[in-house]
Chains A and B, each alone.
Chain A
Amino acid sequence: MNLKGSDEKHYIDKYLREDRMPHIWCPGCGLGSILHCFLSGLIKTGISMDKVVVVSGIGCTGRVAGYLKLDSFHTTHGRAIPFATGLKLANPKLKVVVFSGDGDLIAIGGNHLIHAARRNIDMTVICVNNFNYGMTGGQLGPTTPLTARTTTSPIGNYERPFNVPYLAAASGAVYVARWTSMHVRRLEQTITEGLLKRGFSFIEVISPCPTVYGRMNRQPTGLDQLRYYRENSVIRHGADPKEVDIDLNGKIVVGKFIDIERPTYSDLLDEVVQKAFEPELPKPDTSKKRATVAGSTPK
Chain B
Amino acid sequence: MPRVGPLVGEFFMNGDTACAEGAISAGCRFFAGYPITPATEVAERMSARLPEIDGIFVQMEDELASMNAILGASWAGVKAMTATSGPGFSLMMENLGLGVMLETPCVLANIQRAGPSTGLPTLVGQGDMMQARWGSHGCYSIIALSPSSPQECYQLTIKAFNLSEKYRLPVLIMSDEIVGHMSEKVVIPPPEDIEIFSRRKPTAVPEEYLPFEPDADLVPPMANAGEGYRFHVTGLTHDERGYPVMTAEAQDRLVRRLVQKIEQNKTDIIDIEEDGIDNAEVVVCSYGISARVSQFAVERARDEGIKVGMLRLVTVWPFPEETIRQISQRVKAFVVPEINYGQIALEVERCAGGAADTILVPNMGGSAHRPETIIDAIRGAVR
Binding site for B on A (CB under 8 A): 17, 19-20, 49-51, 53, 55, 65-66, 68-76, 78-79, 81-91, 93-94, 111-112, 115, 269, 272-273, 276-278, 280-286, 288-291, 293-299
Q: Are B243 and A66 in contact (CB under 8 A)?
A: yes
How far does the alpha carbon of A281 sit from the alpha carbon of B97 in the complex, in Å?
37
How far does the alpha carbon of A84 sit from the alpha carbon of B64 in the complex, in Å?
13
B267-302 vs A, CB cutoff 8 Å, 1 = contact: the mask equals 000000000000000000000000000000000000
Question: Can you list 29 residue pairs at the A/B interface with Cβ under 8 Å?
Answer: A17-B243, A19-B243, A65-B232, A65-B234, A71-B229, A74-B234, A75-B235, A79-B94, A82-B60, A82-B65, A82-B66, A85-B60, A86-B69, A88-B72, A89-B56, A89-B69, A90-B73, A90-B76, A94-B226, A111-B65, A112-B61, A115-B65, A273-B52, A278-B1, A282-B4, A284-B8, A286-B190, A291-B4, A299-B185
Closest residue of chain B to A265 (Cβ to Cβ) is B58
How far does the alpha carbon of A49 sit from the alpha carbon of B66 in the complex, in Å?
28
Closest residue of chain B to A278 (Cβ to Cβ) is B2
Chain B residues with CB under 8 A of A79: 64-65, 68, 94-95, 98
Among listed B9-17, B116-124, B355-363, B371-379, interface-contacting one = B9-17
How far does the alpha carbon of A112 sit from the alpha carbon of B64 in the complex, in Å?
9
Q: Which of A51, A74, A294, A298 has the most CB of B within 10 A?
A: A74
Query: Chain A's interface: helix, strand, loop or mixed, by majority?
Result: mixed
Closest residue of chain A to B191 (Cβ to Cβ) is A284
Other A-B contacts than A111-B61, A293-B11, 12 sampled, CB-CB below 8 A, are A50-B228, A76-B68, A76-B235, A78-B64, A87-B72, A87-B75, A90-B80, A91-B224, A277-B51, A293-B7, A295-B45, A296-B11
Closest 8 CB pairs of A and B: A86-B72, A86-B69, A90-B73, A74-B234, A90-B76, A82-B65, A91-B76, A82-B68
How far does the alpha carbon of A50 sit from the alpha carbon of B230 in the complex, in Å?
7
Check A71/B226 contact, CB under 8 A, given A76-B95, A273-B51, A286-B192.
Answer: yes
Chain A residues with CB under 8 A of B30: 86, 89-90
Q: Are A75 and B98 in contact (CB under 8 A)?
A: yes
Counting CB contacts under 8 A, is B225 at the interface? yes
Counting CB contacts under 8 A, is B353 at the interface? no
Counting CB contacts under 8 A, is B383 at the interface? no
Q: Are B3 and A93 in contact (CB under 8 A)?
A: no
Chain A residues with CB under 8 A of B243: 17, 19-20, 66
Counting CB contacts under 8 A, is B53 at the interface? yes
How far does the alpha carbon of A20 sit from the alpha carbon of B62 in the complex, in Å?
35
- Give the total number of A-B pairs whose CB atoms are below 8 A apart: 209
Check A283/B225 contact, CB under 8 A, given A90-B72, A90-B80.
Answer: no
How far does the alpha carbon of A86 sit from the alpha carbon of B71 in the complex, in Å?
7
Closest residue of chain B to A71 (Cβ to Cβ) is B225
Chain A residues with CB under 8 A of B236: 74
Closest residue of chain A to B70 (Cβ to Cβ) is A86
Q: Which of A89, A282, A299 has the most CB of B within 10 A?
A: A89
The smallest beta-carbon distance between A23 and chain B, in angstroms, is 12
Chain A residues with CB under 8 A of B98: 75-76, 79
Chain B residues with CB under 8 A of A291: 4, 7-9, 11
Check A278/B71 contact, CB under 8 A, given A66-B234, A86-B76, A288-B9.
Answer: no
Chain B residues with CB under 8 A of A20: 243
Q: Are A296 and B76 in contact (CB under 8 A)?
A: no
How far does the alpha carbon of A115 sit from the alpha carbon of B64 in the complex, in Å?
13
Q: Which of B1, B58, B78 has the most CB of A within 10 A?
A: B58
Chain B residues with CB under 8 A of A86: 30, 32, 68-76, 80
Chain B residues with CB under 8 A of A297: 11-12
